[in-house]
Amino acid sequence: MNNKMMIFIAFIMNIIIIILAYFSFAPIFALSVYGELTSKSFSGNFRFFTNDGNLYSTLVSCILISFQITILFFKKNPNIIRNNILYLLSLASAVSELIILFVVLFVLLPMLKTLKILFGNFAMFNLHLLTPIIVTIRFLFFEKKRNNISHIDSLYGSLPVLVYGVIVLFLVIIKVFNQENNKIPYPFLNIYGNPWWVTFISIIGIFGFTFGLCILLNYLNQLFENVLLDIEERNINFITPTPSNQEKTYEL
């Protein structure tokens, strides 16, 4: 598969991500426009990382599409393509989406004991499962970098999770989000209602898992790229084999 074909497939995947985001976020923004201050309003829903992470992924898809259009249709290679900024943005998107997926599957589902959070409606299914899968596949197989990224540099992929965590924890500590107004987004962040060690272990576990995901996804991206290059080289050698030094040549 040549480079242009891979860019085109990634382009289609980004369009799908944006379309899914539109149908998922349209009801939320509509409630906000009409001023309904309910738990489903703009201010209520965006205290959840599910929505924040997916919104970030949508913005990243918009950025990637703009450069993919430049390459595919205008035959240009912008300077930003020649460094790793877009790669790191996409890495952060994949990390955020996998955090959403794993928190839902391994924390919220066992805790709440209901599949409604995953299959309650199209938006829930899309934001918690479908988009995370598409974003992860896009990053692993179709996102390329100019040069290798170190494990330390790959930790930039954790920034959306870290920023969200710091802001939400601060709002919980000063009790803007509290049990009385039912604004605490996740049960394990209820630092005043849970034993201190529950919150501590949860935060350390999620941040540690996030850092591990950054390193793992960066490694897997490089691994799949090397495998693809190896397959292409073997196919080239199969189609146009290199003559052996021991082969005799004749001139007519």
Identify the pLDDT of residue 41: 54
> Is residue 30 one of the residues assigned to a domain?
yes
Does residue 224 lie within any of the structural domains? yes
pLDDT at 3 over 90: no
In a domain, 71, yes or no: yes
The whole-angstrom separation of Cα 19 and Cα 122 is 13
Residue 34 is which amino acid? Y
Q: Is residue 107 part of a domain?
A: yes
Question: pTM score, two decimals?
Answer: 0.83
Query: Would residue 252 count as lying in a domain?
Result: no
List, in sequence order, the alpha helices (H) in 104-190. 109-112, 116-119, 122-125, 131-142, 151-154, 159-173
167-184: per-residue pLDDT in tens?
999 999 999 888 888 888
Residue 245 DSSP SS3: coil
242 assigned to some structural domain = no
Range of the domain at 131: 3-237
Residue 16: the pLDDT is 96
The H or E element containing residue 195 is none
- Give the pair of three-digit tokens for residue 112: 């709440």
Q: Pull the structure tokens for residue 103.
A: 């928190």
End-to-end CA distance of the chain: 39
Contact 179, 58 (CB under 8 A): no
Residue 251 covered by a domain: no
* Average pLDDT of every residue of the chain: 82
Indicate the number of domains in the chain: 1
- CB atoms near residue 20 (< 10 Å): 22
| pLDDT at residue 250 in the model | 33
On whether residue 18 sits in a domain, the answer given is yes
Nearest to 28 by CA among 49, 50, 51: 51
* 38 has pLDDT over 50: no
